[in-house]
Amino acid sequence: MIKKGFTLIELLVIVMLIGIILSLGFINYVSVVDNSNKTAVRSNHEVLVEAILLYSVEHSQYPTTLADVSKYFTVPYGKSTMDDSPKGAVYTWGPGITGDYMLHSELYKGSTLIYEVYFETE
């Protein structure tokens, strides 16, 4: 008598191999998404620094809020570069510890990825 089909062991081995391949792919996917989010936060931070500097040149003072500099980082067709900011990214602007202004950007609250720039006041 010839048996057709697979044994239970063969099926378990195949399912296990597929699971290993999928888990490796998922780990790579998470890594790529994390790296792209870090790059987006750094890019947005640089855009905000430039916008703050442009505002300070035009108004002879630093902005009081980040909303004040929003016109300096819009691109044609009304889309803001900040619209592509990663979910949970935190950008904080205000007086620093030394009395100067500070721009603080992080990927998410409590993240180890932090960018800070201090602006000296006269």
pLDDT in tens, 18-70: 999 999 999 889 888 888 888 888 888 888 888 888 888 899 888 888 888 87
Please check the confidence at residue 114 and state whether its pLDDT lies above 90: no
Burial of 48 (0-12, 13-18, 19+ CB in 10 A): buried
- The domains of the chain are located at 9-119
- CB atoms near residue 44 (< 10 Å): 21
